Amino acid sequence: MTKSLLCLTVGLVLMAGCATRQDAITLDRRTIALERQYADLEKKYTAVREDLSSFGTDRDEKYQSFSDYKAEMRAEFQQFKKDLQLINGRLDESDHRLKQHITDMTARLDAFDLRLAKFDKYLDVQTAAGGAAAGAAMSGGAEKTSGDMALYAQGKKAFDGEDYKGARKSFESLLKKYPQSDQADNAQFWIGETYYRENWYEKAILEYQKVIENFPTGNKVPAALLKQGMAFLELGDQENARLIFKELIDRYPRSTEAKIAAQKLKQ
């Protein structure tokens, strides 16, 4: 294992926040020490080969000492590998928890949106009960609301079942048929999510941008900014990710997404 590969591993650990700065310094020092010890071992091995014929009666003793030293080096190297595996395990666990937290948050927000939509629909129906003409108009509005809600529920069900193409089809149909729907910004956000789940991060970034531009007052803008920044991270573009996270914090400092963005910036 080369020094550059070990340094890269330590760098990833620091980005995920799973190891402290002292952990990185300790690992780097151990790496340097191992390299020095291996260099010493190589020199000793060369000397042993050159002088083996001249060892005489103490040849076996020196050879055994060399073998013991090599065994110690191998044991220390194996322990070092175990330490790296442990840190990598922490990194994977942290990343999984973060993604699960974001998924749970978006699901809760969507459920809240659905409850608000039903409540608004109920208030509209009660207000329209005073006249026949108003009642007819409200009937048409209820039909529209029912249609977009059905498409949204259908798309969300497909998304939860990991049928991302089917989910996109339902959400895109909602946007086409009901562009003024209360669920339009949600549908656009979930279109971006389908591409993110398929690891098509460039396309996901573009779809999240539509949420930001087409629905600037919607409640999905903070989530779209956060996921846009995370998509840039997946592409290795840390500079753009940093800019988006800062924009999210500036525009929505009290949001949960801003707190997550702040944590990513620290990493």
Q: What average pLDDT does the structure give for the chain? A: 75
Residue 238 has pLDDT above 70, yes or no: yes
- According to the model, what pLDDT value does residue 19 have? 47
Residue 232 has pLDDT above 80, yes or no: yes
Alpha-carbon dihedral 114, 118, 123, 124, rounded to 10 degrees: 100
- According to the model, what pLDDT value does residue 13 have? 44
Mean pLDDT of 148-170: 96
Residue 138 has pLDDT above 60, yes or no: no
- According to the model, what pLDDT value does residue 130 have? 40
Mean pLDDT of 213-223: 95
Residue 174 has pLDDT above 50, yes or no: yes
Alpha-carbon dihedral 27, 31, 32, 38, rounded to 10 degrees: 150
* pLDDT per position as a tens digit, 247-259: 999 999 999 999 9
**Is the separation of the CB atoms in 95 and 27 below 8 Å?**
no
Q: Can you tell me which residue has the tokens 């592409």? A: 235
* pLDDT per position as a tens digit, 15-51: 445 445 566 566 667 777 777 776 777 777 677 666 6
The letter for the amino acid at 28 is D
CA distance linking residue 89 with residue 105, whole number of Å: 24
